[in-house]
Structure 1
Amino acid sequence: MKSSRIFTRTALGALALSLSATAFSADWRYAHEEYEGDVQDVYAYAFKEHIEENSDHTLEVYRFGELGESDDIMEQAQNGIIEFVNQSPGFSGAWLPAAQIFFVPYLLPTDEETVLEFFDESTAINEMFPELYAEHGLELLKMYPEGEMVVTADEPVTSPEGFDNKKIRVMTNPLLSETYNAFGATPTPLPWGEVYGGLQTGVLDGQENPIFWIESGGLYEVSPNLIFTGHGWFTTASMANKDFFDGLSSDDQQLIRDAANVAYDHTMEHIQGLAEESLEKIQAASDEVTVTRLTEEQIDAFRERAPQVEEEYLEMTGEDGAMLLEQFKADLEAVR
């Protein structure tokens, strides 16, 4: 097992706690959840490049494990230890329930062109979410998609019955657990650092992630059956500590907004075709990999279970969730 896959939360937490603001050499710091060359890393370095080319500021980027796992870096950002953080709603959904909207299955289409247009034009994404994040001390810079979610398992699955009793790792948010309950599986919330080992030892029977992450993290090595269920896209968000951001000059605030826009445009170009390239790499690396793309009839068997997840979302989020879901659907209808 590669060393990057055997971090434990305890070890990572100890690493993060051993650092202080004075330990950093750059004046601004940005931490994300992925490895070198992955989508969040591409975004972070495009952001860094714009900042440094257009100001006297320097920005240090920290990848997965360097300051801890997703929950660790979010805590550091909210406490002002680092200025910028990238975290998926898959983790922030625990403290921002409305963000779990991205885990209502079959709400987002899987067509890449439609998804990208939706993120560009959505009122829910670009106007409503910034207000929700601000309530938690965060300046939302950009929400952006990374790729279609793909399930890997210990055997090919083509129906909800195929997930019976399978322990599927999910990110630590309640609605994603509800999704896999609806699909017939046993959802198992775990931080990323425990996933590879859990699949390797049989503690887990499967997991879900975009295909580039399945390739980058080597998950296909221990969970070789890829299942395209068409149920959603992986979404993430870049943010700044709000006290930090609000205390900046108007010029620096605009610098950061411009950097976020530049990084977003660059990253949206990067992800086009990325899934196909990653799948080709996986298939070239392993003869054990199988690829199952569900037919529309097979997808319908999963899709008909989605309404119970949507109902659970509304129960979890109340009026805020209902308003967001209504706008989300209107935005999707506009781009379809």
Structure 2
Amino acid sequence: MSTASKFRKLAGISAIAFATMTAANAVNAANWRYAHEEYEGDVQDVFAHDFKEYIEENSDHTLQIYRFGELGESDDIMEQTQNGILQFVNQSPGFTGSLIPEAQIFFIPYLMPTDMETVIQFFRESEAINEDFPELYANHGLELLQMYPEGEMVVTADEKITKPEDFNNKKIRVMTNPLLSETYDAFGATPTPLPWGEVYGALQTNMIQGQENPIFWIESGGLYEVSPNLIFTKHGWFTTAMMANQNFYNGLSDEDKQLVQDAADYAFEKIIEHISGLAEKSLEKIKADSDEVTVTRLNEEQVQRFKERAPQVEKKFIEMTGESGKELLNQFKEDLKEVTNQ
């Protein structure tokens, strides 16, 4: 056989091999579905798109993202994930708490620090976050891929709040989360669980007199328009979790499992960059848009009056979660001591 003939034969074999490999990749490629709880450009949406970017740049898979309302409320997208209709979901413990009671630990007031650097270090290093929570989620058919902070919680109300007594006779919207209700009950308010889609209208018609959310969400959702008094109580950070249907995840190849884990880690690092300075920018937008907005930042003496009411919430958490919750709380506190050097 001549050299030219050999070359043509090898070229033909290579072309066939390449075509076979390409066809195999096409067959193995999948379109995954991912739903979250927020609007376009909000923190969860940014995280989802960073995750999508990594997946699609490093594989033949594609990712379809659904924002708030496109597939229903938070409870709806969780049910769809558990049933395997969605492969990925982003949901805060505020809603997951009814399914996984221990996840409500983030709603014990004044447990978490509020300075961003410490919060981020806690999420990176916490044994409770990175080892204990994945086991809890796995018990409910969910593969926990990432927990991350979104922003400090800020209360909005129909008037300024500086002490617990100011909450008397006020209905404050809370997520459908028993422990969050306990928190506002401890603060002196009447906690009123409502799905997100009803909050703006309820504030506008005075069915409720306040609510809590990170400042970017208050700006994005226009809540300051109907609840113009912003109160920084320093009682906690809004936390969220990104997870997968566990049956789906367990059925992935080792290569795809690593891809998903790497994509979640990539999105975490990107979102930490994104939230840096986000609260300040959102507050400036709010103040520029409305002359009616007031901003109240509680001083240490005022914060202390609210802190004094926190132990009853911690006690309720232990009652609701039993020994597992008590162990998780102890680990949480140990982790916090390590990052705050206390």
- TM-score computed with the length of structure 2 as normaliser: 0.91
1:323 counterpart (308, 315, 327) = 327
1:71 correspondence with 2:56: no
What SS does structure 2 have at the residue aligned with 1:145? strand
**Residue 95 (structure 1) shift:** 1.1
The structure that has the greater radius of gyration is 2
1:239 aligned residue: 243
**Residue 27 (structure 1) shift:** 1.4
Give the aligned CA root-mean-square deviation in angstroms: 0.9
Q: Deviations over 1:25-46 (max 9, x none)?
A: x710000000000000010000
Aligned ranges for residues 249-268 of structure 1 at < 5 Å? Answer: 249-268=253-272
The aligned amino acid for 1:292 is T
Aligned ranges for residues 75-154 of structure 1 at < 5 Å? Answer: 75-154=79-158
Q: Which runs of 5+ in 1 are unaligned?
A: 1-25
Structure 1: 4+ residue segments shifted above 2 A = none
Cα separation, 2, equivalents of 1:327 and 1:266: 27
1:248 aligned residue: 252
Cα separation, 2, equivalents of 1:236 and 1:118: 14
The aligned amino acid for 1:162 is D
2:222 aligned residue: 218
1:190 counterpart (190, 194, 204) = 194
- TM-score computed with the length of structure 1 as normaliser: 0.92
Q: Deviations over 1:42-72 (max 9, x none)?
A: 1000000000000000000000000011000
What SS does structure 1 have at the residue aligned with 2:47? helix
Identity %: 76
1:294 aligned residue: 298
The aligned amino acid for 2:252 is L
1:172 aligned residue: 176
Cα separation, 1, equivalents of 2:99 and 2:310: 23
Cα separation, 2, equivalents of 1:216 and 1:126: 30
1:308 counterpart (303, 306, 312) = 312
1:269 counterpart (266, 269, 273) = 273
What SS does structure 2 have at the residue aligned with 1:120? helix
1:9 aligned residue: none
1:43 aligned residue: 47
2:211 counterpart (207, 217, 226) = 207
Q: Deviations over 1:241-295 (max 9, x none)?
A: 0000000000000000000000000001100111000000000000000000001
The aligned amino acid for 1:221 is E
The aligned amino acid for 2:93 is P
Q: Which runs of 5+ in 2 are unaligned?
A: 1-29
Question: How many corresponding residue pairs?
Answer: 312
The aligned amino acid for 1:199 is L
